[in-house]
Amino acid sequence: MTIRKLFLLPGDGIGPEAMGEVRKLIAWMNETMSTCFETDEGLVGGSAYDAHGEAISDSDMEKAMAADAVLFGAVGGPKWDDVPYEQRPEAGLLRLRKDMQLFANLRPAICYPALAQSSSLKAEVVEGLDILIVRELTGGVYFGEPKTITDLGNGQKRAIDTQVYDTYEIERISGVAFELARTRQNKVCSMEKRNVMKSGVLWNEVVTATQKANYSDVELSHMLADAGGMQLVRWPKQFDVIVTDNLFGDMLSDVAAMLTGSLGMLPSASLGAPDGVTGKRKALYEPVHGSAPDIAGTGAANPIAMIASFAMCLRYSFNMIEEADLIEKSIANVLDRGLRTGDIMSDGCTKVGTTAMGGAILDELKALSA
Ligand code: NAD
């Protein structure tokens, strides 16, 4: 039997509460399905700072590097607002992304039919929506040098950020987008600002060349990133996979997120390059939401984003497509039956807490698998 090594980093706030529901799914799958997950757990964020004085310890970092996949909850909270910058809770996540070289961030925006009415857009615009934003995560303007604020000495200061991309970075992220498109509707839309940015010109050239060379079966279109933002709220269902850089991806994925309702519904994955020998990618799966200190400890957190992140892990790290589909179907069915956590509550539905929602999804999974 293949052993799949999962490293769990629940983190702070609602992170551990949401992770608890995933732990139950893993335990049940280990008991009843032909899977064998070996799990280990570590500390990240504020909880790691309290224990070790840093946002992730070297030994937990080693375990993350050795695992087949990392499941991450959330980090941060007011308790750690004043810790030194280098040890702030987010530094743990940034170190994981950097050391594991997770260059591809995948953010699906799926609108479950039962939640179409709670989107800020008209139901017919979002119902059945299923798009995937592939964002470059380790390059671009967030990391480019120089990155400075200079005192000009005349009462003025000058701030500089540098947008920089090399060919290989664009090739590898567009390769991920084309490969994922092949498992979906086979369409990729690339977004940049080639009308005003040199990096946009190169981005466009390299994505086009990559498609021609290796993915001519996948339909490719291009859109300026600002127009893409408009189209996302006008008619999002025109998109299948969107590939874009770090900065535009940050914004466009948040826009897409709001099409689907609450933050508590949104999973994500961050992937590295395939290993030369095993072909496996390093991978980290996490909900998009933060540690929600306002509801932490009340049992009110929506565990769906965390559970859906686990489903992404099954899909992308272990090729367990059937099991991932079953978990997503279980979520949809439970929502169809009217169960809601507070963040997605609407009239006529039944309000439940974290464990009841997680339990209902597990029960549904059991029923669907019977
Ligand atoms: P947040 O995502 O934690 O919360 C925003 C709002 O959404 C809150 O009202 C919260 O109650 C609600 N919410 C979020 N997730 C929910 C869920 N699963 N169920 C129900 N309601 C949910 O963002 P914030 O308030 O801006 O940040 C709080 C802390 O989290 C800060 O310390 C921030 O730095 C950190 N943060 C961490 C991550 C991460 O770990 N990846 C991401 C974003 C923010």
pLDDT tens, per residue, the chain with 370 residues:
789 999 999 999 999 999 999 999 999 999 998 889 999 999 999 999 999 999 999 999 999 999 999 999 999 999 999 999 899 999 999 999 989 999 999 999 998 888 888 788 899 999 889 999 999 999 999 989 999 999 999 999 999 999 999 999 999 999 999 999 998 999 999 999 999 999 999 999 999 999 999 999 999 999 999 999 999 999 999 999 999 999 999 999 988 888 877 788 999 999 998 888 888 899 999 999 999 999 999 999 999 999 999 999 999 999 999 999 999 999 999 999 999 999 999 889 999 999 999 999 999 999 999 8
Which atom of ligand 1 is found nearest the CA of 14? Answer: 18
pLDDT at position 259: 83
Ligand 1 site, CB within 6 A:
14, 74-77, 93, 263-264, 286, 289-295, 301-302, 305, 341, 343
Helix 304-317 crosses helix 15-32 at what angle (to 10 degrees)?
A: 50
- SS (HEC) of 11-70: ECCCHHHHHHHHHHHHHHHHHHCCCCEEEEECCCCHHHHHHHCCCCCHHHHHHHHHCCEE
pLDDT at position 218: 98
Span from the CA of 306 to the centroid of ligand 1 (angstroms): 13
**Predicted TM-score (pTM) of this structure:** 0.92
Q: Which of 80, 90, 263, 309 to mutate to test the pocket of ligand 1 (most atoms within 8 A of CB)?
A: 263
pLDDT at position 36: 92
pLDDT at position 126: 92
pLDDT at position 275: 87
Please list the residue range(s) of the chain that carry CATH number 3.40.718.10: 1-105+262-370
pLDDT at position 82: 95
pLDDT at position 214: 98
Span from the CA of 258 to the centroid of ligand 1 (angstroms): 14
Nearest CA to ligand 1 atom 27: 290
Give CA–CA dist 259/229, Å, rounded.
12
Give CA–CA dist 109/122, Å, rounded.
16
Nearest CA to ligand 1 atom 5: 292
Q: Which of 291, 298, 306 to mutate to test the pocket of ligand 1 (most atoms within 8 A of CB)?
A: 291
Span from the CA of 287 to the centroid of ligand 1 (angstroms): 10
Q: How does DSSP classify residue 298?
A: T
pLDDT at position 257: 83
Nearest CA to ligand 1 atom 1: 290
Residues annotated as catalytic are 142, 193, 226, 250, 254
Nearest CA to ligand 1 atom 38: 290
pLDDT at position 107: 94
Span from the CA of 77 to the centroid of ligand 1 (angstroms): 9
Span from the CA of 57 to the centroid of ligand 1 (angstroms): 23
pLDDT at position 10: 98
Nearest CA to ligand 1 atom 4: 292
pLDDT at position 166: 98
Largest CA distance in the chain: 74
CATH superfamily for domain 1-105+262-370:
Isopropylmalate Dehydrogenase (3.40.718.10)
Q: What is the dihedral of CA 197, 226, 180, 176, to 10 degrees?
A: 20
- Please count the residues of the chain: 370
